[in-house]
Amino acid sequence: MSNHFTGLSLGAPLGDQRLDLCDLYAFQSPTDSARTVLILNANPNADALHPDAIYRLNLDHDGDCLTNMAISYVFSAPQEGGRQTFSVFMATGDEARSAEAVGQQVVTDAEVSFGTRANRVTAGPYTFFAGSRSDAFFFDFDGIKNLFDTTGGRNFTAPHLGGESPWTGVDSNTEANVFSMVVELPTSELRANPEIRIWGRCSVRRDGRLVHADRAGHPSVSSFFNTDDTKEEYNASEPVNDRARWTDQFVHLMGHTGNYTREEAIAAIDADRILPDMLVYDPSKPAQYPNGRVFTDDVINHRLSFLSAGDIPPTGLAPHTDLLNEFPYLGNPHPKAN
């Protein structure tokens, strides 16, 4: 759930957990090096997704920060017993830039998986999954609260460095589930040259129009760099506009967290390639953040080191051990507490 929290306020986008995009992953299939796995996680409650929403993976392969390929998931209204189905549309070219679920419908009314049996859906060279899974993201949330000034609970300011370690050694996410949308496809379809940029979008229909509720690119960027006042604007905005709109806000925060000068902050932003907020992936190289993202990447340590210019010590947490070596790769969902 690296994109779940914004500052120390845990409010869901538009007040609805179903619209909350949590994490984005991109990596080579461990069972076939010629295939790529893309995963968009949503809804930390791991129950049915919003029937009036479109959950989308956007891919840019020519570097203009505009979508060249879109994979859109839509969901039925939950039925008796919580059952839900999903459909998938794939669009390319100009059609991919439409906010609607357009293009070729490659999956129609497939069963969403809410138990331990993962419903694998094959459509030509593509394999899809949608349903509840164990959340692979690991972090020490109490330690993060110890580390930062929590006054007002609005956003991250200067970290408390020195003295005792802020870390508790407790992973806040060991029993967490999440709703996952997984696609595995031939890497050649990405048209990487040599890389692609990927970002997730959740839009919901309100009063007859689509409202952009959330987006996901680099892990934890939206969480740490936004405030409650800017979160909705950021979530609704487009990556192509990120440099112009958000550079000053990012530079300002980095001056507080790492004593960066403006020039140093911009150099660090460019080195990590976090603006525009799109996950960069070169499939010819092993996936490890910031080249794509795998489940074992410690993205919180990476982001905190970035914010503090290397002054924040590692949390010491280890990746989760319930990961799978086969599709859909995320572990079986944990039983829900009574």
Residue by residue, pLDDT tens for the chain (338 residues) are: 555 554 445 578 988 999 999 999 999 999 999 999 999 999 999 999 999 999 999 999 999 999 999 999 999 999 988 899 999 999 999 999 999 999 999 999 999 999 999 999 999 999 999 999 999 999 999 998 888 855 544 456 667 766 788 999 999 999 999 999 999 999 999 999 999 999 999 999 999 899 999 999 999 999 899 888 898 999 999 999 999 999 999 999 999 899 999 999 999 999 999 999 999 999 999 999 999 999 999 999 999 999 999 999 899 999 999 999 999 999 999 998 65
Question: What per-residue confidence (pLDDT) applies to 80?
Answer: 85
Burial of 243 from C-beta contacts in 10 A (0-12 / 13-18 / 19+): middle
pTM, full prediction: 0.95
The DSSP letter of residue 163 is S
Give residue 158's pLDDT.
Answer: 66
Structure tokens at 174: 């060991």
Q: Which pLDDT does position 229 carry in this prediction?
A: 87
Q: Which residues contact 270 (CB under 8 A, 6 or more apart)?
A: none
Cα radius of gyration rounded to whole Å, the chain:
19
CB atoms within 10 A of CB 104: 12
48-83 b/e (C-beta count within 10 Å ≥ 16 → b): bbbeebbbbbbbbbeeebebbbbbbbbbeeeeeeee
Specify whether the CB–CB gap between 48 and 112 falls below 8 A.
Answer: yes
Yes or no: say if 128 and 182 are a contact pair by the CB < 8 Å rule: yes
d(CA 10, CA 123): 37
Beta strands in 62-154 (DSSP E): 69-75, 85-92, 104-111, 121-123, 126-134
Q: Which of 43, 97, 50 is nearest to 73 (CA)?
A: 50
CA angle 198, 108, 278 (to 5 degrees): 5
What per-residue confidence (pLDDT) applies to 89? 98
What is the reported pLDDT for 165?
A: 86
So what's the pLDDT on residue 228? Answer: 81
Length of the chain: 338
